[in-house]
Amino acid sequence: MHFSITIAAVVAGMLALAQAHTAPTFFYVNGQSPGRGTCMRISHDGSTVVSPITDLTSTDMACGRNGNEGVARVCPVPAGAEITFEWDIKLDKPGLHIDDSHKGPCSFMMKKVESAINTTASGDGWFRIAYVDYDPTAKQWCTEKMFYDGRITVKLPEDLAGGNYLLRPELLALHTQTQPQFYVHCLQLFIDSAGTAVPTETVAIPSDAYAKQGTTAMNFGIWDKDGSTYPGYGPATYRSTGSVDAKAKSGLTQTEGVMPTGCILRTGNWCATEMPKYSTESACWESVKSCWSQANTCFSQSVLDNSICFKLQDKCRKFCANGNFNGPPDYMVDISETPPTLNPVKPPLQDLNKRTTSASSVQQANPNAAPAVAVAVAVAAPPSSTSSSSAPASSAAPPVERYGAPASSSSSSSSSGSSSSAVASVAAPQQTSTSAATSAPPAPTLAPPPPPPPQAPMMTSICSESITDWVTEVITVTVN
């Protein structure tokens, strides 16, 4: 009996780890979210949303599975907005963000498009706005710094021309040396900016120029090599060519993906509309049919979490109840999930008691960085970049018209790294500059968690690719 229990426990544990992939379930514009999965191109199959892209030649490399298909919503953002992505392993149970074996770089790419909904994501036109790989001071990869809250924040370049864009967050997990894992999705954005810059140094995704199987960057041995020797990959990071008033408007009008009027329930990129008023029995029963039809559609449209659809079913049950044929009930009452705001997430208490993090251990390499922003980490552009200088401090981004104002510039967070003051005051590490008028873009900011616990042998570095071999070994040992 003991023999069979041992094998079952090992197999169950390994299968659980096989599911330890991740995807961004929420994103925040200056600290406020438009809703779970809104404006996000994601897989239509909920079982594959968190799965990585492993074929570097696939068109899925651009925006993930089904990423070449647009969604109904396009989110408006101001110039220079701070965009925070929150990643989770389980879509319906936030809290577990990324397995600590999935170590590697983070990158942010953008593509200017004629239509954020109808444009194919794969192909040329992608430019990089931020990149982070290994931090030799903290001795951590970018993904390791996301362990506690799953968040990473990037500030959009203020000088970009207004219009429609795709924004592509990317995590690259290198824990299986022979098979890099890309976790990518895309946001559909309308940037209201008075800038005029249109980056010309672009790359096609997929392409060997972006990521090529067999290269050192794709098959880097993170378990036996010094992370500071990682060569990087992809194009140089775009650098703003001048300052632009972030509050100035583009004069453009968003013409696609606007939130429909009359919504009473929103989930992802779909919304339910209120039934017409009625006062007769026949009209009431027609409304019942229409209400339940929308409830069924809600479940099919809610890839990330369909629990909100039960609230629409509850509303449908009230129609024509107890012979009341005047309605609809709760007319035009919005029953949508309240979008979250970007609140700090603290590590577990027991970990706080065991670990300490000093300001000097998380401050960037730039000796001129202000000690007050030790809660955020800024990392230099990738090795392919040839020009940068310290990024000047800037004021907080203006409020988002639809989703609220940014975080107060007088406050900072020790765990989310998402406050406007922290991002604005973090300077990029100093490098050789080839142009005094060219400034380095603000790097993505991450809340530095306490150092990770000692890594358990084998268990924390196992992924689905090696389950069979590992379980076979355990069974053999157990038998002997």
CA distance 238 to 442: 10
Q: What is the pLDDT of residue 345?
A: 61
93: which residues sit within 8 A by CB, 6+ positions away?
Answer: none
321: which residues sit within 8 A by CB, 6+ positions away?
Answer: 329
Buried-exposed string 24-49: b where 16+ CB fall within 10 A, e elsewhere = bbbbbbbbbbbbbbbbbbbbeeeebb
166: which residues sit within 8 A by CB, 6+ positions away?
Answer: 41, 63, 110, 111, 113, 116, 119, 121, 186, 187, 188, 189
Q: What is the pLDDT of residue 20?
A: 58
Give the pLDDT means over successive 10-residue stretches in the chain (480 positions). Answer: 35 40 83 91 80 94 95 95 84 65 93 97 97 95 86 93 96 91 95 92 97 96 95 94 70 92 92 95 95 94 85 95 94 91 60 31 31 30 39 35 33 33 30 40 51 38 35 33
* The two three-digit tokens of residue 366, written as one number: 């730039």
* The two three-digit tokens of residue 377, written as one number: 């980490």
Q: Which conformational region is residue 202 in: left (phi greater than 0), alpha (psi within -120 to 50 degrees), or beta? A: beta
SS3 category, 97: coil
Q: What is the pLDDT of residue 45?
A: 81
Let me know: does 234 contact 210? Beta carbons within 8 Å: yes
Let me know: does 210 contact 87? Beta carbons within 8 Å: no
* The two three-digit tokens of residue 350, written as one number: 């027991």
Q: What is the pLDDT of residue 61?
A: 97
Residue 123: CB atoms within 10 A of its CB come to 16
CA distance 169 to 300: 26
Single pTM value for the model: 0.70
* The two three-digit tokens of residue 315, written as one number: 């509303």
348: which residues sit within 8 A by CB, 6+ positions away?
Answer: none
Q: What is the pLDDT of residue 243?
A: 66
* The two three-digit tokens of residue 268, written as one number: 């992802």
* The two three-digit tokens of residue 70, written as one number: 């647009």
